Structure 1
């Protein structure tokens, strides 16, 4: 009798979901591709080798790049503040320290689930109607959802941190607040700090996305150039975005190494690795002045108008929005059901594509695998591994640097609007993120079992099949499931540019100021997001 393990069960469910999603996307129909758009796509590709390098455009590019960076820095700053407060209050261990009922943390986690489920682009569109195109719009649009996401991750990190030192202090009569801050936080500090670096990298990409709604920065310039078919200018902005993401990635990795953070984010671990903040304390003087200087410079550069928070006009416009959105209009619910199915199908196909592509590129992109002196190339022979390393890193950087809506507009050159182009666009963007995260898993894996297999004379193929894959696949699957939750949120933004799903309805309702129907559509999208979160969390727990 065959025993169905949790991994096999979720594997079969995932395979069935992919097949059903392909059928829903109409993969076998004949009207998927628009061959009339091939000349435009070719012009787009050819323009990559001769971007516009005129002085005027380079000045515009530099200004837009600094604006994007400033939005990301300021948005990350507020999201971390919100995340620290919400993360402590949403952690079970915080309430247990005070002897409070464990249901308190569940209520707070439920409260922060709503803002994190709504994509930052939707928040941006809402605040544009309230504050206009002030930089405050972009900052708050990043801070609210990212603050809620950070709070969720921080709370999980705190809950998974070993509690023995905390219990010892509590049993010794130390006050709960003192015990919490002197025992639990020092243990979790490096994991929390590592996630802050990861969230900052995500903020760079979100700041570029917000440019699509007119918030400024590289995303705004890219969208204008793409809409006007000025591909030479477009590629100039693309290269600036690649450089910005690459520099942020390198500086983040350097700071994490100096501070002792092994990876951006830890998932699917029974407990966090033992890390000692004391070991990295001597390097904190590097981070703090850099962070303070960069933060001050960014706030000075974009100069957001914080007085708009309490301005009478803000209260007036917000009140008008609430009055126009109530009562909700449920008459369009039957039409939303097929679009909801499209949205889920799009997210499933996107994560399947990105997970498979990320898996293929992660191994050549890892610096300890094929490179000379690596696990499968200890002799250090040949230049091909170095070429593969550089190419795979470049592909991953390009994929994650270009926002998903821009990928969707490019894919729509040669495909008709629908689920499949949206899934391809999301898959390309998340492929770059997943591939880099998976490469870090490979770089940080325990080398001792692999060295033991190597010492016993096992060939490289068996080391890969019986050593590398069993050690890395649980983390790969955890990252993929985590990104599936993100893909679900991002289906809205590719829908805004015509890729299908609930995003299309949101676009129509926003453009027609039909807020009564918009509230219902957002409610349906939130339900789908919570469903995906629940499935993803259960799958990750089963695969531990």
Structure 2
């Protein structure tokens, strides 16, 4: 009876989110512009199978590769211990709010913010990644600590402080889960580092965007295959025992940073990002400014961002259900599984912004490129996690398939087993999809990121900062709703690598 109740609850939850996507459809810009997608797609496909570095020197490629790895590695090396410290303090509400606020702002927005102070420098690249990653690590580590047994800490001396309980009790138990999550997050940091090239930082993303804009798809393919090779081989060259050696090498690889004076930083954060009426103490003018910025700029952008998020979330679920059976040997043979796994590697390794840029060339400037890019990337990640769990269970428990036909095994055996985890993974990604929807504005799509980028270009730092705060608050709200939905529906998963 309990199983029937759970199944019914999950069924209606799925229906509710499909309906929410249908409600969003009339408000989405799904117009196809006058482009020839098949001709452009054929050019891109030819470029993908004929990669070239004709216009790039070996030195330029190695520098971009080194900067991509250096930004990611140092950001993770710095943010992990900070995350551990804040995770130990996560019981305090002010810490939870602070961590939620910094992780709610996308790395691109942090990069645009710090670029106004430090320029296109190593400082900008590092801060843009390590600040939100500190918030992510703090939250995930705190959740990992909560899952551990309290017996070791209860057996300690009553005089032992909170620090001792973590150092000698919780952290040793959590080390395996924490190390696994750090490895996963480093892959994410590589993607974040790469897409910082879209705003001008000297990573692989800079050459990828430049090549695509110039229509040199062979060169873009060369850069992309290099990046994909970097992601695919992380497990082979990233050895935890050599992290200190990697960190030293990363410091040496960093690009030069200009001298920045404290007065410049102080002026930016104390004056430049605040409305002049606020600095004058003019309350009436300040409220008028806020009213104008919210209703004329932020509100339409919030609507577009939420519509794209909801459509991408539901499309992610549909694509996951369709692709998952092709990626696990429990259902299909290796002749089908191996190319499917390569496709999944491609989708989860390709940053959403890069995928959206490709679809933008195919379908023109609308919400379609953003929705498809977000759905394919997140579906690739969730399929990867589900298929790994499926194969691990089959190996550990020697699960016997009761049906000979692959379709029957999927519909009657695997899908019911994985459906709870599938929904849990999907709702864990809800907040992430919202963050990525916001930055799609960098490509000209009218989300919050479009107005943030425009404000920085117009040197309207007050408007840019206001919109970044709106983006952060929106992410916090969606994260809270997602967490509430998961708790009410009983959607839990031990695999935290989905965040």
| Equivalent of 1:179 in 165, 169, 172 | 165
- Secondary structure at the counterpart of residue 215 of structure 1: coil
- The answer to whether residue 362 in structure 2 is matched with residue 414 in structure 1 is yes
Task: Write the distance in 1 (CA, Å) between the matches of 2:149 and 2:259.
Answer: 43
Between the aligned partners of 1:34 and 1:339, the Cα distance in structure 2 is 25
Does the aligned pair in 1 maintain the 2:273–2:462 contact within 8 Å? no
Aligned to 2:458: 512
Q: What residue number does 1:118 align with?
A: 105
2:149 is paired with a residue whose SS is coil
Q: What residue in structure 2 maps to residue 298 of structure 1?
A: 250
Contact 1:48 1:235 in 2 (8 A): yes
Once the two structures are TM-superposed, the CA of residue 318 in structure 1 deviates from its matched residue by 3.6
Q: CA deviation at 1:186?
A: 1.3
Alpha-carbon distance, 1:389 to partner: 2.5
**1:144 matched to which residue of 2?**
131
Separation of aligned partners in 2, 1:141 and 1:213: 12
Q: Distance in 2 between matches of 1:436 and 1:325?
A: 50
Note the alpha carbon deviations across 1:289-335, whole angstroms, 9 max, x for none: x2111111111111565975x74433344444234576363213223
Equivalent-residue separation in structure 1 for 2:408 and 2:221 (angstroms):
43
Q: CA RMSD in A?
A: 2.7
Contact 1:408–1:499 at 8 Å: present in 2 too?
Answer: no
**CA apart distance, 1:154:** 0.8
Change (3 A) 1:26 1:508: closer
The residue number in structure 2 matching 1:287 is: 240
CA deviations over 1:233-276 (Å, ceiling 9, x no partner): 1111111111111112x438xx8xxxxxxxxxxxxxxxxxxxxx
State whether structure 2 residue 159 is matched by structure 1 residue 207: no
Tell me if structure 2 keeps the 8 A contact 1:61–1:240: no
* Among candidates 139, 142, 155, match of residue 168 of structure 1: 155
Which of 198, 206, 209 pairs up with 1:223? Answer: 209
Distance (Å, rounded) in 2 between the aligned partners of 1:241 and 1:467: 37
- Judge which range, 145-154 or 417-426, deviates more: 417-426
TM-score, normalisation: structure 2? 0.87
Question: 1:59, 1:432 → 2: CA distance?
Answer: 33
Distance 1:405 1:509 in 2: 20
Q: Give the secondary structure class of the aligned counterpart of 1:387.
A: helix
Is the CA contact (8 Å cut-off) linking 1:404 and 1:493 kept in structure 2? no
Distance in 2 of aligned mates of 1:186 and 1:471: 32
| Secondary structure of the corresponding residue to residue 86 of structure 1 | helix
| Aligned positions, number | 474
- Structure 1 CA distance for aligned equivalents of residues 357 and 341 of structure 2: 24
Cross-structure match for 1:487 = 433
Q: What is the match of residue 382 of structure 1?
A: none
1:361 to 323, 331, 339: 323
What SS does structure 1 have at the residue aligned with 2:155? helix
Counterpart-to-counterpart distance in 1, 2:457 and 2:181: 36
SS in structure 1 of the partner of residue 223 of structure 2: helix
| SS of alignment partner, residue 412 of structure 1 | helix
Aligned to 2:236: 251
**Residue 525 in structure 1 maps to residue 471 in structure 2:** yes
Q: 1:358 to 1:295 in 2, by over 3 A?
A: farther
The answer for the alignment partner of 1:279 in structure 2 is: none
1:189 to 167, 175, 180: 175
Cα pair 1:419 1:501 within 8 Å, conserved = no
User: Does structure 1 residue 159 correspond to structure 2 residue 105?
Assistant: no
Instruction: Check the 8 A contact 2:357/2:443 in 1, yes or no.
Output: yes
Point out where structure 1 has 5 or more consecutive residues left out of the alignment.
Answer: 93-103, 256-285, 370-374, 378-384
Q: For the structure 1 residues 212 and 56, does the alpha-carbon distance in structure 2 shift closer, same or farther, using more than 3 Å as the test?
A: closer
CA displacement at 1:412 relative to structure 2: 1.7
Find the partner of 1:440 among 375, 379, 388. 388
Structure 1's 324 and 132: CA in aligned 2 closer, same or farther, altered over 3 A? Answer: farther
Normalising by structure 1, we get a TM-score of 0.80
Q: Counterpart of 2:362 in 1: which secondary structure?
A: coil
Q: Is the 8 A contact 2:71 2:125 kept in 1?
A: yes
